[in-house]
Structure 1
Amino acid sequence: MMRFIKIQIIAIICFGISFQSCTDVIDVDLNDGSPSLVIEASIDWKKGTQGNQQTIKLSMSSPYFDTNTTPVTGATVRVTNTHTKEVFNFTDQENGQYTVSDFLPIIDHTYVLNVQVNGEMYTATETFMPVPEFSRIEQSLEGGFDDEALEVTFYFNDPEGISNYYLSSFQAESDLFPLFSDFSDEFTDGNEIFNFYEKETGDSDDEAFVSGDKVRINLYGISEQYYNYMQLLLEQYNSDGDPFSAIPAKLKGNCINSTNPSVAVFGYFRLTEFVEDTYVFE
């Protein structure tokens, strides 16, 4: 199928004080590629809970201008703990979601995801990573970019002597999506680490935080390979519209088609322990 974009090019030609403009319409041919399997396998374990309830989502990729997704049903989905050899079979809910209610997350254990669909096997391997507790969450006018705007800051103590990688998210009640950031303890090993969120009021319609506003804060412990993946993903997302940024590349997750490696598959199998809190501005 071919799709077209109309682009208007306005040329202004000056002759003394007279101006002439013209508008051309260019039809750009966009070919749709073959749909690929998308695996959303985020096994997130809230610290202090059992983590038994987990969901994996399967769908097919869609053309650029198509906002609809096609769920994948009839697949066999299982996750295996390579240390204990325990297998967790996910149940098809016939809407693209596959669920399990007896999952057992164990920190530092490695798990293998297997998805069998349409005669092909997709696999991925990941290790469960721990996360520290928040030591405190505070509001201030001093730590952000605008000394007249409130920001919220969380703190935690990084474990010493091991490499740790983190993903954090902030989401205010007025935010459609959370704001993600990734960081490591490469230069802060064993020290107190913090991250803050302040509304960017200068270049947007956002208003600064006021008393009573709520922000949901999550901190995830993630693997090094997922940290590298998120670095590239966030870099491409945040550089949108920057003429000096690198050309976006197709991001490849840790899922592969083991039956036919040349067949593309999108998505990621991640295992994270996380902490969360909701801060209310005073």
Structure 2
Amino acid sequence: MKLPFRSIGYLLASLVMTLLQSSCEDVIDLGLNNAAPKLVIEGWVDDVAGPSVTISKTTAFTADLSENPQQVLSGATVTLTDNYGHTAVLTDKVTPGQYRVEEAANFLGKPGRTYTLKVEADSQTYQAVSTMPIPVPIDSVGTVTSDIFDGERKGAGLLFTDPPGVKNQYRYEVWVNDVFLKTIFIYNDKYNDGKTITRELIDFEEDDDDKKIVIGDRVRVNIYNIDEAVYKYWFSLDENNPGSAAPGNPVSNISNGALGYFSAQTSQQVELIIQ
């Protein structure tokens, strides 16, 4: 999925081409100025792999994406603190722009705790707060099939029981034969609180027959329990596709105008062979 600010650039470029083709005499100046770059923070802490934060800057729509697709930001001061007073410092010593702790096992997330991410960069301070939910275990996994207008689609089906009386939000990452699916899979229990749920993860966005899920494919699913603010980020990102009438930036839980998100999340993984 493309970021919204790039989508605007593509729409404007199409408009320019249309106007130029319709008139060879008039010189049209749309007055498109490059907006100041914004900080993009994509961070999480989970109960399996610990914390990870990637920091970059947006590029202007007039930039050459083939030469500089993303401007990473190195040298920021990044700290993560929980509500029990534990603090970890993340650095990008190994890979510029990718901030990690030296020993991830020393700062694994714990369900029920609240984590505060603080980033100091370019003389600005950015903060985000996220509470790690209690994990909801998967009871079983199997193949699901859906018949739609262009034929049969297959995918992974997850069976689980949603805990009653608690707001639960879920996000799923899906790999097929080790290839990551870009489709955003999210779910909340607004209409199914406390019920047994079968979550069908079928990629309806893929039109290439060679890339559709078929019998024999190996599917891996990462399941994340996320808080409500992070769910809103992924929901707005999913809604903000290039075909939106008024594309904009997804809702962020990070302060001071930064883009992106910070998620304290539980993580579990399942695998299956499509039948």
TM range (shorter): 0.7 to 0.9
Q: 1:179-218 residue pairs with structure 2 within 5 A?
A: 179-200=183-204, 204-207=207-210, 208-218=212-222
Q: 1:149-228 residue pairs with structure 2 within 5 A?
A: 149-173=153-177, 177-200=181-204, 204-207=207-210, 208-228=212-232
Query: Who is 2:45 aligned against?
Result: 43
Query: Who is 1:134 aligned against?
Result: 138
Which stretch shifts more, 97-106 or 58-67? Answer: 58-67
Q: TM-score, normalised by structure 2?
A: 0.79
Are the equivalent residues in 2 in contact too, given 1:131–1:221 (CA < 8 A)? yes
Structure 1 residue 125 displacement after superposition: 0.9
Query: Who is 2:247 aligned against?
Result: 248
Distance between the aligned counterparts of 1:189 and 1:105, measured in 2?
A: 25
Distance between the aligned counterparts of 1:256 and 1:138, measured in 2?
A: 41
Distance between the aligned counterparts of 2:251 and 2:143, measured in 1?
A: 38
Distance between the aligned counterparts of 1:116 and 1:90, measured in 2?
A: 12
How many pairs are equivalent? 250
Query: Who is 1:59 aligned against?
Result: 56
Distance between the aligned counterparts of 2:162 and 2:250, measured in 1?
A: 29
Q: Alpha carbons of 1:148 and 1:89: their partners in 2 closer, same or farther (altered >3 Å)?
A: closer
SS in 1 for 2:215: coil
Which stretch shifts more, 207-216 or 22-31? Answer: 22-31
Q: Alpha carbons of 1:174 and 1:76: their partners in 2 closer, same or farther (altered >3 Å)?
A: closer
SS in 1 for 2:47: strand
C-alpha RMSD of the superposition: 2.8
Distance between the aligned counterparts of 1:251 and 1:269, measured in 2?
A: 13
SS in 1 for 2:107: coil
User: Hey, which of these two has a bigger chunk of helix by percent?
Assistant: 2
Identity of aligned residues (%): 27
Are the equivalent residues in 2 in contact too, given 1:199–1:206 (CA < 8 A)? no
SS in 2 for 1:253: coil
**Gaps in structure 2 of 5+ consecutive residues:** 1-8
Name the larger-Rg structure: 1
User: Hey, which of these two has a bigger chunk of strand by percent?
Assistant: 1
Name the amino acid aligned to 1:60. Answer: K
SS in 2 for 1:221: strand
Q: Does 2:76 match 1:72?
A: no
Q: TM-score, normalised by structure 1?
A: 0.77
Q: Alpha carbons of 1:104 and 1:171: their partners in 2 closer, same or farther (altered >3 Å)?
A: closer
SS in 2 for 1:124: strand
Are the equivalent residues in 2 in contact too, given 1:5–1:28 (CA < 8 A)? no
SS in 1 for 2:239: helix
Query: Who is 1:145 aligned against?
Result: 148
Query: Who is 1:97 aligned against?
Result: 98
SS in 2 for 1:277: strand
Structure 1 residue 44 displacement after superposition: 3.2
Distance between the aligned counterparts of 2:87 and 2:144, measured in 1?
A: 47
Distance between the aligned counterparts of 2:240 and 2:137, measured in 1?
A: 30
